[in-house]
Chain A
Amino acid sequence: MNPEELLRRAFEARANTVEVAPDALGTIRRRIARSRPRRRAITIGLASLATTAAAVVATVALAFDVPRQATPAPPGTAIDTTPTQGVFPAPVTPAPTTTPPPVQVRVPVYYVGTADRLYREFHFATLPTDTIQARVAAAAGMALDGGASDPDYRTRWPGTAQIRGVRIEDAVATVDLSAVGRSPGSASAARAAVQQLVWTVTAVTADWDAERPARDQIKVTSVRVTVDGARVENLWDQVDVSRDLVRAPADQTQALVWLISPQHGDTVNREFTVYIYGSVPEANVILRILGPTGETVHTEPVTLDAGGPLWGEAHVRVTLEPGRFTVQASFESLADGSVQALDDHEITVR
Chain B
Amino acid sequence: MAPGLVGVYGGRAVTYVPADERAATAWTADEAVAHLFATQYRPLVRLAVLLVHDDGVAEELVQDLFVVLHQRWGRLRDPDKAAAYLRQSVVNRARSVLRHRTVVDRYLRRQGPPATAPSADLSVLDAETTSEVLAVVRTLPTRQREALVLRYYGDLSEAEIAEAMGVSQGAVKSHTSRGLAALRKKMESRS
Chain A interfacial positions (CB closer than 8 Å to B):
1, 3-4, 6-21, 24-25, 27-29, 31-32, 35, 62, 101-106, 108, 120, 122, 124, 126, 130, 207, 210-211, 260-261, 263, 266-269, 271-273, 275, 315
Residues of A within 8 A of B121 (CB): 9, 12-13, 16
Count the B residues whose beta carbon is within 8 Å of the partner chain — how many?
64
**Given A16-B120, A210-B102, A7 and B183 touching (CB < 8 A)?**
yes
Q: List 11 A-B contacts (CB under 8 A).
A: A6-B133, A9-B125, A11-B134, A16-B121, A18-B115, A24-B59, A28-B37, A28-B66, A102-B92, A104-B93, A126-B64
Report which residue of A16, A18, A27 has the largest number of chain B beta carbons within 10 angstroms of its beta carbon.
A18
In contact, B106 and A210 (Cβ under 8 angstroms): yes
In contact, B67 and A271 (Cβ under 8 angstroms): no
Quote the shortest CB–CB distance from A135 to chain B (angstroms). 10
In contact, B70 and A32 (Cβ under 8 angstroms): yes
Q: Does B23 contact A (CB under 8 A)?
A: no
In contact, B137 and A20 (Cβ under 8 angstroms): no
Q: Does B34 contact A (CB under 8 A)?
A: yes
The docked-state distance in angstroms from the alpha carbon of A267 to that of B99 is 23
In contact, A101 and B88 (Cβ under 8 angstroms): yes
The docked-state distance in angstroms from the alpha carbon of A171 to that of B61 is 32
In contact, A18 and B68 (Cβ under 8 angstroms): no
Which listed segment binds A: B1-9, B10-18, B48-56, B167-175?
Answer: B48-56
Residues of A within 8 A of B100 (CB): 105-106, 207, 211
Quote the shortest CB–CB distance from B147 to chain A (angstroms). 11
Interface of B is mostly: helix
In contact, B50 and A21 (Cβ under 8 angstroms): no
Chain B interfacial positions (CB closer than 8 Å to A):
30, 33-34, 37, 41-42, 45-47, 49-50, 55-56, 58-61, 63-64, 66-68, 70-71, 88-89, 92-93, 96-97, 99-100, 102-104, 106-109, 111-112, 114-115, 117, 119-122, 124-125, 129-130, 133-134, 137, 148-149, 152-153, 166, 180, 183-184, 187
In contact, A15 and B97 (Cβ under 8 angstroms): no
The docked-state distance in angstroms from the alpha carbon of A24 to that of B58 is 12
In contact, B96 and A105 (Cβ under 8 angstroms): yes
Interface of A is mostly: mixed
In contact, B148 and A7 (Cβ under 8 angstroms): yes
In contact, A210 and B103 (Cβ under 8 angstroms): yes
In contact, A101 and B49 (Cβ under 8 angstroms): no
Residues of B within 8 A of A211 (CB): 99-100, 102-103
Quote the shortest CB–CB distance from A152 to chain B (angstroms). 19
The docked-state distance in angstroms from the alpha carbon of A130 to that of B93 is 12
Contact of A11 among B89, B153, B184 (CB under 8 A): B153
